[in-house]
């Protein structure tokens, strides 16, 4: 009721207080509180910039890890294909070796005199032909596998490369955002300093103390329906009444934030 002692009739005062009690809304905050609300709004703005800036390195790192993983996927698929191609080349070389041996045995057959020597060479040739046939079957299967895998690899590569392009675009966006935030940081700090000009020292000191003590904003909060909007707990009647008094700071008796109505 002290807020109403100057030039206001008692009945008007009563009505105003009653209205605030019923509606739970603020009437006329202390001018110092109004100034602090501007300070708070600028501090929150600055805090948001600082928090956004702090998050960027981790977000960049996470994007770079994803890009590396995608690139590794392409490399691994490429390695698997190269490995299969090498296996095919080895099989091919084996077949050629066997064919050379067959030709050599056939030449020897022309030179041998005895039947059993001739038959022994025939058996070796037949065995080599069986081996060649088996090697060729394996080689054909491998070639089919390689074709399928290459096709799959080419399709997946297009998708992965497109994902990498998107991720790199996000990196660029983040880097641009980092520059923009850095640019706005000094202005926001300056605005915070300017908003503090003209604030009563006692109010400002309490504000700064609460700002340090409270981990997260807000630091100056209204009382609505006798509840502090900072901690959402009910304040005492004394605090609720006192918060209407202009000229001195009042605090939530639960969380110690500056309160007003
Ligand atoms: Zn509170």
How many angstroms separate the alpha carbon of residue 257 from the centre of ligand 1? 6
Angle at 97 between CA 93 and CA 102, to 5 degrees: 145
CA of 85 to the centre of ligand 1 (A): 72
How many angstroms does the Cα of residue 163 sit away from the middle of ligand 1?
48
Gap from CA of 208 to ligand 1 centroid (Å): 16
220-230 pLDDT, tens digit per residue, is: 999 999 999 99
**Which one, of 259, 252, 246, lies nearest residue 32 by Cα?**
246
Q: At CA 34, angle to CA 30 and CA 37, rounded to 5? A: 135
Specify the pLDDT at position 27: 56
Distance 226 CA to ligand 1 centre (A): 10
State in Å: Cα 26 to ligand 1 middle.
16
Using a 10 angstrom Cβ sphere, with 0-12 exposed, 13-18 middle and 19 or more buried, the burial of residue 110 is: exposed
The Å distance, Cα 191 to ligand 1 centre, comes to 27
CA of 248 to the centre of ligand 1 (A): 18
Report DSSP state, residue 233.
P
Give the distance (Å) from ligand 1 centre to CA of residue 230. 5
Q: What is the Å distance from ligand 1's center to 223 Cα?
A: 9
For the chain, which residues score pLDDT lower than 70?
A: 1-28
Q: Is the pTM of this model over 0.85?
A: no
- Which residue do the tokens 């109004």 mark? 34
How far, in Å, from the CA of 251 to the mean position of ligand 1? 8
pLDDT digits (tens, 9 = 90+) for 232-249: 999 999 999 999 888 999
What per-residue confidence (pLDDT) applies to 87? 95
Cα(4) to centroid(ligand 1), Å? 25
- What pLDDT is stored for residue 126 in this prediction? 96
| pLDDT for the residue numbered 17 | 37
Report CA(240)–ligand 1 centroid distance (Å).
11
SS3 247: coil
Question: Could you tell me the sign of the dihedral formed by the alpha carbons of 229, 231, 237, 238, in that order?
Answer: negative
What residue ranges define each of the domains in the chain, with the CATH number in brackets? 2-199 (1.10.287.1490)
Residues with Cβ within 8 Å of 80's Cβ and at least 6 positions away in sequence, in order, are 149
- What is the secondary structure of 81-119 as a DSSP string? HHHHHHHHHHHHHHHHHHHHHHHHHHHHHHH--SHHHHH
Q: What is the pLDDT of residue 215?
A: 80
CA of residue 235 to ligand 1 center, whole Å? 7
**Ligand 1 center from residue 68 Cα (angstroms):** 48
Question: What separation in Å is there between the alpha carbon of 254 and the centre of ligand 1?
Answer: 5
What pLDDT, in 10s, does the model give residues 66-110?
999 999 999 999 999 999 999 999 999 999 999 999 999 999 999
* Distance from the alpha carbon of residue 256 to the mean position of ligand 1, in angstroms: 6
* pLDDT number for residue 29: 78
């Amino acid at each position: 009721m002290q807020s109403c002692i100057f030039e206001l009739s008692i009945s008007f005062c009563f009505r105003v207080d009653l209205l605030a009690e019923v509606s739970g809304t603020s009437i006329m905050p202390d001018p110092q509180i109004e100034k602090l609300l501007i300070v708070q709004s600028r501090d929150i703005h600055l805090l948001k910039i600082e928090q956004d800036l702090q998050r960027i390195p981790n977000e960049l790192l996470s994007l770079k890890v994803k890009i590396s993983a995608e690139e590794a996927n392409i490399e691994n698929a490429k390695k698997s294909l190269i490995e299969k191609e090498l296996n095919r080349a080895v099989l091919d070389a084996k077949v050629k070796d066997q064919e050379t041996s067959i030709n050599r045995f056939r030449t020897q057959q022309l030179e041998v005199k005895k039947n059993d020597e001739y038959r022994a060479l025939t058996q070796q040739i037949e065995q080599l032909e069986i081996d060649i046939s088996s090697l060729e079957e394996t080689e054909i299967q491998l070639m089919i596998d390689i074709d399928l895998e290459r096709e799959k690899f080419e399709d997946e590569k297009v998708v992965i490369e497109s994902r990498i392009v998107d991720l790199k675009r996000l990196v660029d966006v983040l880097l641009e955002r980092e520059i923009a935030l850095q640019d706005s940081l000094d202005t926001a700090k300056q605005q915070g300093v300017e908003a503090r000009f003209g604030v009563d020292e006692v109010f400002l000191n309490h504000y700064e103390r609460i700002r340090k003590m409270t981990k997260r904003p807000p630091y100056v909060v209204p009382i609505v329906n006798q509840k502090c909007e900072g901690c959402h707990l009910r304040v005492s009647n004394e605090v609720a009444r006192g918060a209407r008094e202009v000229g001195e700071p009042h605090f939530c008796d639960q969380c110690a934030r500056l309160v007003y109505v």
